Amino acid sequence: MLRMVEEDADIAYRMMEIRQCIDQLELAFSELAAEFQQSKHWEHQGANSAIDWMRFHCHMTSNAAADRIAVGEHAPQMPESIQAMKADVIGFPHLTVMARTAGAVDEAFDELQLLPLARESSPGKFHYKCLHYRHAVNAERYAAEQAEQVHARTLHMSTSDDGSLYLTGFLDSVGGAIVRNALEPLARRAGKDDHRRRPQRLADALVEFAGHKQKIQMQVTSSIETLLDVAGAPGAETEFSLPISSKTAQRWACDCSVTRVLMKKSVVIDVGQAERTIRGPKRRALVARDQHCQWPGCERPASWCDGHHIVFWTHGGGDDLENLCLLCTRHHWKVHEGGWKLIRTDEGNIITLSPRTMFSPPRGPD
């Protein structure tokens, strides 16, 4: 028995030793990869890019090749981290996260802020912390990247001859978190005799959800600074999602059935209830006046709409009817994340201003 323990410890030690050698080789490979990218040798070889060439000749995935080039390119900006890897304090995967972060924030990058986080985190956790760092350094750019993801959203439904339905799709980080928040609680095992596989439980959850229109419980944890969109603030957090931008947090706080937890210096200062911020007589008055989404041309009914503050409450906008209007989820997104502006005319009509054409005649798209 004792012999076994010693042998196992030896295996563990050798694994760590080999992994460290691999990390050193990965770094050497990355430096060459960045040089190779500059050389344009790949072009003479008929490849479309250095990544393409590496994919074929080094038997790598595109992502793995791009990671190596990023590490090689950003190596001069992270000398301390490279030393930490050589001393076996962090691993090569930490370096790839560091390099991708350097690429995302450009000259604002400061490895000394990130290295302590790398030391104390697994690479996966470190990636998550670096996303908060990216939000803190440039919240506008982070929000723009998240908004960009939304354009790739897609859901295909096709019914086959026997009536069964095929689903395939892609959702952005925020949309995905909402769907998972809705389905995960319904997809839990119903006791120890529940032998359904997880994909079956998720399928049942989707059908159950669609059938009963369950109210979703989202919990958002955000600092005051994030909600106020202060420079240097981290992203907000919610289960099943990467850090969300302050723009999305503001939309949810505008009038949403989310539970919000507000933090100041890591201390919880307010736990809001999962209730609409505009409720009671005020909501009834708003619904009676607007009846449907107020985006020009949209007629989504009030029950599908949020109450939007035209001047956001953190910017001094009040809860008076003048400052409120109904917007469906999609158009609420356009105002907060999409950069469109809403203006109420003296006649009480809503007009929209596109982020791109602020000075051309306002129009409402689709």
Strands (E) in 116-250, as ranges, are 154-159, 165-170, 218-223, 237-238
Cβ atoms of 176 and 241 within 8 Å: the answer is yes
Cβ atoms of 286 and 326 within 8 Å: the answer is yes
Site stretch for Zn ion (CB under 5 A), options 10-18, 209-217, 305-313, 353-361: 305-313
Instruction: Report 86-145 residues binding Zn ion (CB under 5 A).
Output: none
Residue number with CB closer to Zn ion (92 or 252): 252
Burial of 202 per CB tally in 10 Å (0-12, 13-18, 19+): middle
Burial of 361 per CB tally in 10 Å (0-12, 13-18, 19+): exposed
We find the least distance from the C-beta atom of residue 151 to Zn ion, in angstroms, to be: 18
Contacting residue, 51, 328, 342, 350, with Zn ion by CB under 5 A? 328
Output the DSSP codes for 297-361: T---BGGGEEEEESS-GGGT--SSGGGEEEEEHHHHHHHHTS--EEEE-TTS-EEEE-SS-TTSP
Site stretch for Zn ion (CB under 5 A), options 23-31, 93-101, 270-278, 327-335: 327-335
We find the least distance from the C-beta atom of residue 313 to Zn ion, in angstroms, to be: 9
- State the number of CA atoms in the 13 A half-sphere of 7 facing the CB: 4
We find the least distance from the C-beta atom of residue 338 to Zn ion, in angstroms, to be: 12
Residue number with CB closer to Zn ion (135 or 308): 308
- Give the number of residues in contact with Zn ion, rule: CB under 5 A: 8
Instruction: Report 182-221 residues binding Zn ion (CB under 5 A).
Output: none
Residue number with CB closer to Zn ion (111 or 306): 306
We find the least distance from the C-beta atom of residue 269 to Zn ion, in angstroms, to be: 22
We find the least distance from the C-beta atom of residue 328 to Zn ion, in angstroms, to be: 3
We find the least distance from the C-beta atom of residue 312 to Zn ion, in angstroms, to be: 7
Contacting residue, 254, 263, 325, 350, with Zn ion by CB under 5 A? 254
We find the least distance from the C-beta atom of residue 291 to Zn ion, in angstroms, to be: 12
Instruction: Report 215-234 residues binding Zn ion (CB under 5 A).
Output: none
Cβ atoms of 92 and 26 within 8 Å: the answer is yes
Residue 177 CB partners (closer than 8 Å, separation 6+): 218, 238, 239, 240, 241, 244
Instruction: Report 276-295 residues binding Zn ion (CB under 5 A).
Output: 293, 295
Three-state helix/strand/coil letters over 169-204: EECCHHHHHHHHHHHCHHHCCCCCCCCCCHHHHHHH
Cβ atoms of 292 and 325 within 8 Å: the answer is no
Site stretch for Zn ion (CB under 5 A), options 164-172, 174-182, 216-224, 250-258: 250-258
Whole-angstrom distance, CA of residue 185 vs CA of residue 319: 33
- Structure-block tokens of residue 202: 């998720």
We find the least distance from the C-beta atom of residue 157 to Zn ion, in angstroms, to be: 22
Contacting residue, 94, 127, 129, 308, with Zn ion by CB under 5 A? 308
Site stretch for Zn ion (CB under 5 A), options 13-21, 221-229, 307-315, 343-351: 307-315
Residue number with CB closer to Zn ion (260 or 331): 331
- Decide if residue 331 touches Zn ion (CB under 5 A): yes
Residue 27 to residues 94, 107, 143, Cα–Cα distance (Å):
12, 22, 32
Site stretch for Zn ion (CB under 5 A), options 214-222, 226-234, 248-256, 279-287: 248-256
We find the least distance from the C-beta atom of residue 299 to Zn ion, in angstroms, to be: 8
Residue number with CB closer to Zn ion (101 or 246): 246
Residue 344 CB partners (closer than 8 Å, separation 6+): 310, 322, 325, 350
* Binding interface with Zn ion (CB under 5 A): 254, 293, 295, 298, 300, 308, 328, 331
